[in-house]
Amino acid sequence: MRRRMGRALVAGAVVGGVAHHAGRASAENDAREQQQSAQIADLQAQQDQMTQQQVAQQPQYAPPPPQYAPPPPQYAPPPPQYAPVEAPTAAPAPPPAQPDRIAQLKELGELKASGVLTEEEFQAEKAKILNG
Protein backbone atom coordinates (compact mmCIF):
# COMPACT_ATOMS: atom_id res chain seq x y z
CA MET A 1 0.00 0.00 0.00
CA ARG A 2 2.82 2.32 0.61
CA ARG A 3 3.83 2.05 -2.93
CA ARG A 4 0.48 3.22 -4.21
CA MET A 5 0.61 6.36 -2.11
CA GLY A 6 4.03 7.13 -3.46
CA ARG A 7 2.83 6.99 -7.02
CA ALA A 8 -0.14 9.26 -6.22
CA LEU A 9 2.17 11.71 -4.49
CA VAL A 10 4.56 11.73 -7.44
CA ALA A 11 1.68 12.15 -9.91
CA GLY A 12 0.28 15.03 -7.86
CA ALA A 13 3.69 16.65 -7.72
CA VAL A 14 4.12 16.34 -11.48
CA VAL A 15 0.67 17.80 -12.16
CA GLY A 16 1.31 20.62 -9.71
CA GLY A 17 4.71 21.34 -11.23
CA VAL A 18 3.30 21.48 -14.75
CA ALA A 19 0.47 23.78 -13.63
CA HIS A 20 2.95 26.04 -11.79
CA HIS A 21 5.18 26.24 -14.86
CA ALA A 22 2.24 27.00 -17.19
CA GLY A 23 0.96 29.73 -14.87
CA ARG A 24 4.39 31.27 -14.54
CA ALA A 25 4.92 31.26 -18.34
CA SER A 26 1.50 32.84 -18.85
CA ALA A 27 2.28 35.56 -16.29
CA GLU A 28 5.63 36.26 -17.98
CA ASN A 29 3.94 36.54 -21.40
CA ASP A 30 1.33 38.95 -20.00
CA ALA A 31 4.05 41.10 -18.45
CA ARG A 32 5.98 41.11 -21.73
CA GLU A 33 2.87 42.19 -23.68
CA GLN A 34 2.16 45.01 -21.20
CA GLN A 35 5.77 46.21 -21.51
CA GLN A 36 5.58 46.17 -25.32
CA SER A 37 2.25 48.06 -25.28
CA ALA A 38 3.79 50.71 -23.02
CA GLN A 39 6.81 51.05 -25.35
CA ILE A 40 4.56 51.41 -28.40
CA ALA A 41 2.50 54.08 -26.65
CA ASP A 42 5.70 55.97 -25.73
CA LEU A 43 6.96 55.83 -29.32
CA GLN A 44 3.64 57.09 -30.67
CA ALA A 45 3.67 59.97 -28.19
CA GLN A 46 7.23 60.86 -29.26
CA GLN A 47 6.24 60.80 -32.94
CA ASP A 48 3.20 63.00 -32.28
CA GLN A 49 5.37 65.45 -30.36
CA MET A 50 7.97 65.57 -33.17
CA THR A 51 5.24 66.11 -35.76
CA GLN A 52 3.81 69.01 -33.76
CA GLN A 53 7.27 70.56 -33.46
CA GLN A 54 7.89 70.26 -37.19
CA VAL A 55 4.56 71.89 -37.98
CA ALA A 56 5.35 74.72 -35.56
CA GLN A 57 8.79 75.25 -37.12
CA GLN A 58 7.55 75.47 -40.70
CA PRO A 59 7.41 79.10 -41.87
CA GLN A 60 3.98 80.40 -42.63
CA TYR A 61 3.95 82.47 -45.80
CA ALA A 62 1.18 84.86 -46.64
CA PRO A 63 0.06 85.30 -50.23
CA PRO A 64 1.74 88.22 -52.00
CA PRO A 65 -0.08 91.53 -51.87
CA PRO A 66 -2.07 92.43 -55.00
CA GLN A 67 0.47 95.03 -56.12
CA TYR A 68 2.90 92.22 -56.98
CA ALA A 69 0.48 90.35 -59.19
CA PRO A 70 1.62 90.11 -62.84
CA PRO A 71 0.13 92.80 -65.07
CA PRO A 72 -2.63 91.77 -67.47
CA PRO A 73 -1.55 91.33 -71.09
CA GLN A 74 -1.84 94.50 -73.15
CA TYR A 75 -2.91 92.79 -76.32
CA ALA A 76 -4.37 89.48 -77.23
CA PRO A 77 -2.33 87.17 -79.45
CA PRO A 78 -3.67 86.85 -83.00
CA PRO A 79 -5.92 83.87 -83.60
CA PRO A 80 -4.30 80.99 -85.46
CA GLN A 81 -4.79 80.94 -89.18
CA TYR A 82 -6.44 77.83 -90.49
CA ALA A 83 -7.07 76.80 -94.05
CA PRO A 84 -10.76 76.77 -94.94
CA VAL A 85 -12.31 73.38 -94.78
CA GLU A 86 -14.11 72.23 -97.88
CA ALA A 87 -17.55 70.84 -97.43
CA PRO A 88 -17.56 67.10 -97.90
CA THR A 89 -19.06 66.00 -101.15
CA ALA A 90 -21.91 63.57 -101.04
CA ALA A 91 -20.89 60.06 -101.94
CA PRO A 92 -22.76 58.55 -104.85
CA ALA A 93 -25.68 56.44 -103.80
CA PRO A 94 -24.96 52.74 -103.92
CA PRO A 95 -26.63 50.86 -106.74
CA PRO A 96 -29.88 49.19 -105.81
CA ALA A 97 -29.38 45.79 -104.34
CA GLN A 98 -29.61 43.09 -106.99
CA PRO A 99 -31.49 39.98 -106.04
CA ASP A 100 -29.37 36.96 -105.48
CA ARG A 101 -29.00 35.47 -108.96
CA ILE A 102 -27.86 32.07 -107.74
CA ALA A 103 -30.91 31.67 -105.53
CA GLN A 104 -33.17 32.64 -108.44
CA LEU A 105 -31.49 30.16 -110.75
CA LYS A 106 -31.85 27.40 -108.17
CA GLU A 107 -35.51 28.22 -107.78
CA LEU A 108 -35.98 28.08 -111.58
CA GLY A 109 -34.22 24.71 -111.70
CA GLU A 110 -36.57 23.37 -109.02
CA LEU A 111 -39.62 24.64 -110.90
CA LYS A 112 -38.38 23.00 -114.13
CA ALA A 113 -37.62 19.73 -112.30
CA SER A 114 -41.09 19.68 -110.72
CA GLY A 115 -42.67 20.15 -114.16
CA VAL A 116 -44.12 23.63 -113.59
CA LEU A 117 -41.88 25.22 -116.28
CA THR A 118 -41.14 23.94 -119.76
CA GLU A 119 -37.64 23.97 -121.26
CA GLU A 120 -38.39 27.11 -123.32
CA GLU A 121 -39.82 28.97 -120.30
CA PHE A 122 -36.84 27.93 -118.21
CA GLN A 123 -34.35 29.20 -120.83
CA ALA A 124 -36.22 32.52 -121.20
CA GLU A 125 -36.32 33.16 -117.46
CA LYS A 126 -32.69 32.11 -117.10
CA ALA A 127 -31.66 34.63 -119.80
CA LYS A 128 -33.60 37.40 -117.99
CA ILE A 129 -31.84 36.66 -114.70
CA LEU A 130 -28.35 36.48 -116.22
CA ASN A 131 -28.79 39.66 -118.31
CA GLY A 132 -30.01 41.56 -115.31
Q: What is the CA radius of gyration of the chain?
A: 52
| Helix, strand, or coil (residue 35) | helix
Residue 63, in any domain of the structure: no
CA distance 111 to 90: 44
pTM for this entry: 0.32
Residue 91, in any domain of the structure: no
Residue 95, in any domain of the structure: no
Residue type present at position 129: I
CA distance 3 to 14: 17
Name the residue range of residue 126's domain: 101-131
Domain edge (last residue) among 22, 37, 57: 57
Residue 38, in any domain of the structure: yes
Residue 76, in any domain of the structure: no
Question: What is the model's pLDDT at position 99?
Answer: 60
Compare 101 and 62 and report the one with higher pLDDT: 101
Q: What is the tally of structural domains in the chain?
A: 2
What average pLDDT does range 2-31 have in this prediction?
Answer: 73
Residue 8, in any domain of the structure: yes
Residue 20, in any domain of the structure: yes
Residue 81, in any domain of the structure: no
